[in-house]
Amino acid sequence: MTAIAPSSQQKPDFSEERLLPQARRQLPGSINTSKPAAEPRSGHLNLDTFSPVNQNGSFEFDRVLKSGELYKRTRKTKQWKKFYLVLRPNLLSAYKSPSEERLHKQISLSDLNAVAHLKDRKGRRENLFCLYTPARNYHFQARDEKDAKAW
């Protein structure tokens, strides 16, 4: 048996000081040995970035993005009735009055296929738009064109 002599070449230095700044970044799932891990406060992990509660103490999904009175076309009689709509990040709610006491209808925004500006075939109504879902279509009339586009 012959022994192989060690190479006289220098081995590259891969220590942390010699790495490029991009290579020093912490990889997901790896342990950072440069700083000790912070202790959780009162036994709870710091999950502020994942919390659905905002700084005011209310739930983020309950935040009102837009609200106002609109006319909605009824399903059977095709008459137009006034409703108070409230748009939240994941839900559109229709109430009978601005006090939001009696909920009439809720539409999940994840169910929407499209939202489109409409023109009345008979020419009687303006500022119309429609929400299209797989189950049915919802026709609304806003006060003016600006309001219809905002919805």
Q: For residue range 26-57, what is the model confidence (pLDDT) as tens digits?
A: 445 545 545 444 554 444 444 444 556 666 66
| Whether this model's pTM surpasses 0.75 | no
Residue 123 DSSP class: S
User: Between the CA of residue 56 and those of 67, 70, 72, what are the distances in Å?
Assistant: 20, 29, 33
Two tokens at 136? 């049915």
Residues recorded for the chain: 151
